[in-house]
Structure 1
C-alpha cells in the first residue's frame, strides 16, 4: 500500500495541535507504577494529585520530553473504574495542546464532532475538554488550552 503525502495548510485546520501534552494510562496501583517506571526507564515524578470530581489519583512522570499521566480510580463506581471494567487497564486518552480552546470547541461542534465537553473546564494540566472516541477513531482525545497550561 503506497501512502500519499498530504500538504496541509495549518492555518485552515479546525484544531491545529501544537504539541502532544501527555498520554494517560489507567493503572491498578499508582505507587507501584511510579516505582516501576522509575526503575525501568529512569523517569522523574513531576506531580501527584487527587482529582476529587473525577474520583481518581493522578501522577505525572517525564521520560525525556514525554509526559505520562497515570490514573487510578479512588471509587469503584467512578467513571474511570467503569472504563477499566469495560476496557481493562492501559491507554485512556491522548492530550493535545491547542490555542483558544473555547473557539476550537465551537468550530468542532459546528463540524459535527461529538464533544464530551462543549466548554473548557479545569483539569490537571490546565483548561481542558474531551472529544468522544466515536469521533476520533476509538481514541478518547483531551484538548488543553496552551495558554492555561501549568508548567512544572
Structure 2
C-alpha cells in the first residue's frame, strides 16, 4: 500500500432494471430500506442496510439513454460499483496513480457534503470503484451518525 489512509467498504451498488422487482430479494435477505431518491430524473437509487453496518444500493435508470442503461444493455443486472469511504481522497488517488497506470480516475466531483472519484473498471479486478470522502456536515438532515458510519464514527475516527 502506498499510503496509510483509512478506507472501508461503504456500500455495494447493484444496477437493476426495476427496483420493484429487485427489492423483494433484499427484503428476503433481511435488508431494511433507508432511503429512496431520484437524481435529476437520470436514475433512482434506493439504499438498504443489512445487519449492523453493511449497506446495499439498488440503482435503476429513469433516463432512457444514460450510463446506467448502457451498463444494463452491456452487462445486464448485477454489480455496478463498490463504494469505498476514504479519510483523504486526494492521498488515495495519488496512491492509485503511483501504483499502476491501469488504476486511473475517470470521474471526480465535489458536492456540498462529499467528494467522490471513480476508478476505471479497466483494471485487473474489472470493478468500478467509487471513492467517497464525506465532509463534516454529511450527516446533517440524514440518519444519525451511528446509523451512517461504522461503530458510530467516521472512518477517520474509527482506527483499528
* Shorter-normalised TM range: 0.7 to 0.9
How has the CA–CA distance of structure 1 residues 42 and 73 changed in structure 2, closer, same or farther, with 3 Å as cutoff?
same
Q: Offset of 1:137 from its aligned partner?
A: 1.9
Please name the residue that 1:114 is paired with.
104
Secondary structure of the corresponding residue to residue 122 of structure 2 = helix
Deviating 4+ runs (over 6 angstroms): none
What is the number of residues matched between the two proteins? Answer: 137
Alignment of 1:1-40 (within 5 A): 13-14=2-3, 16-38=5-27, 40=28
- Report if aligned partners of 2:17, 2:72 keep a CA contact under 8 Å in 1: no
How has the CA–CA distance of structure 1 residues 14 and 135 changed in structure 2, closer, same or farther, with 3 Å as cutoff?
farther
Unpaired stretches in structure 1, ≥5 consecutive residues: 1-11
Please name the residue that 1:49 is paired with.
37
Greater helix share, 1 or 2? 1
Question: Is residue 69 of structure 2 the alignment partner of residue 71 of structure 1?
Answer: no
> How high is the TM-score relative to the length of structure 2?
0.73
Unpaired stretches in structure 2, ≥5 consecutive residues: 144-160
- Report if aligned partners of 2:5, 2:88 keep a CA contact under 8 Å in 1: no
Q: Distance in 2 between matches of 1:126 and 1:136?
A: 27
Please name the residue that 2:117 is paired with.
129
Secondary structure of the corresponding residue to residue 72 of structure 1 = strand
Note the alpha carbon deviations across 1:52-84, whole angstroms, 9 max, x for none: 27x110000011121000000012211110011
- Report if aligned partners of 2:3, 2:91 keep a CA contact under 8 Å in 1: no
CA RMSD of aligned residues (A): 2.5
- Report if aligned partners of 1:17, 1:96 keep a CA contact under 8 Å in 2: no
Q: Distance in 1 between matches of 2:35 and 2:4?
A: 28
